[in-house]
Structure 1
């Protein structure tokens, strides 16, 4: 494994695929708050392992997990609608893109490298970040979790993103902050760069041991003048 920014500028791959939550924006606190509110409405105590369980799952899959775990008599669709409403408001108020992230993405585009977003998040939530962050303006391709069959425990979203980019998987690098994403990207035949979030619950040692590259912060990458 190489410690970034080695291999990230000048770019050593054909295309870059980025996760959003944690990787490009520190939004973990928002999702913890969503979980707290959601569970408190049902008088269920929150436990810190819930975030890890939901981090790689899509919304419907995550809702199905919550229904089974807590014995809820609700539909996944109703839970997702509640999550979306809570998260969209909190994203608008509290979520900011990490320093240096968009600068790096724009630098890649200026040099002719295709860039894509592959996120389990949804359009409704990320749309609340405009005009600060508009995915369709920043990326050549955007793939949301609901557009593929399985969550980030599987390589589906990365393979679909590469397909839309028209780049072979081996030519792609994936930037992720969660271990299932790193492993699934590698299973897809891609290189994977682990991105540190500063969240004390992030399994940093395991991420560093597993990933092909490791990035402390976006600002560590030396961009061309």
Structure 2
């Protein structure tokens, strides 16, 4: 597939990930994971932290219960992650430079936008410096679909809500499983560099139709 034109856009609808893609939040979720493991007397598991970023809250909690043989209820783990995440997101999260300008430029060009995030509405709503519900026409959270981003469910649901065919959508992601599953669904993909040192940049460059280092200058 040819590399997409970002502005003027060559796509009819835009679907955006949040964590890492639009906001540098990996360090916040690492803190949440570190607290989660520490309170249970478990050593921090780097691979598990990366897996949880793909699965989302409920599926991730079930995965943790099974992997570590925890006695916690899945709902209690989800509530814990929500509480910890919301406390950090409230004051610390801001969009990456240029991200809001690009989103607004797309909307001015008549492109409907959806947020497709494994995050929870409670955490998104806690942010004081980012109004995702004002920036996007639709917000789809991981809890609203059956499977994580290693499957295309969340992107297909976003395209459905936007009233756009999958082939007309462009997905902006910073994780490899999401980029691959969106591509399998027939969507154009843009991989976005982030600060997470675990990001497999080389693999993402190969998998995506386009790679960008950030958002600055895209709306010019």
Report the TM-score range of the alignment, normalised by the length of the smaller protein.
over 0.9
Match of 1:218 among 195, 215, 218: 215
Given candidates 201, 204, 209, the residue that maps to 1:207 is 204
Distance, in Å, in 2 between the alignment partners of 1:128 and 1:32 is 18
Deviation at 1:220, TM superposition (A): 4.0
Instruction: Name the CA distance, whole Å, in 2 between partners of 1:52 and 1:199.
Output: 10
Deviation at 1:2, TM superposition (A): 6.9
Partner of residue 30, structure 1: 28
1:52 is displaced (CA, Å) by 1.3
Q: Any residues of structure 2 matched to 1:151-170 within 5 Å, and which? A: 151-170=148-167
Structure 2's unaligned 5+ residue stretches are: none
In the TM superposition, what are the counterparts of 1:114-193 in structure 2 within 5 Å? 114-130=112-128, 132-193=129-190
- The match for 1:52 is 50
Contact 1:2 1:214 in 2 (8 A): no
1:7, CA displacement in angstroms?
Answer: 1.1
Report the counterpart of residue 95 of structure 2 in structure 1.
97
Per-residue Cα deviation, 1:84-138 (whole angstroms, up to 9, x for no partner) = 00110011132221111111000110111111101110110011113x2112111
Q: Partner residue of 2:107?
A: 109
Paired positions, count: 220
Alignment correspondent of 2:67: 69
What is the distance in 2 between the residues matched to 1:13 and 1:2?
12
1:198 Cα deviation from its structure 2 partner? 2.4
Q: TM-score, normalised by structure 2?
A: 0.96
Q: Which structure 1 residue ranges, 4+ long, deviate > 4 Å from structure 2? A: none
State the Cα RMSD in Å.
1.3
* Cα pair 1:39 1:46 within 8 Å, conserved: yes
2 CA distance for matches of 1:162 and 1:83?
Answer: 28
Q: State whether residues 20 and 195 of structure 2, in contact with CA within 8 Å, keep that contact through their aligned partners in structure 1.
A: no
Aligned residue for 1:194, secondary structure, equals strand
The answer for unaligned runs of 5 or more in structure 1 is none
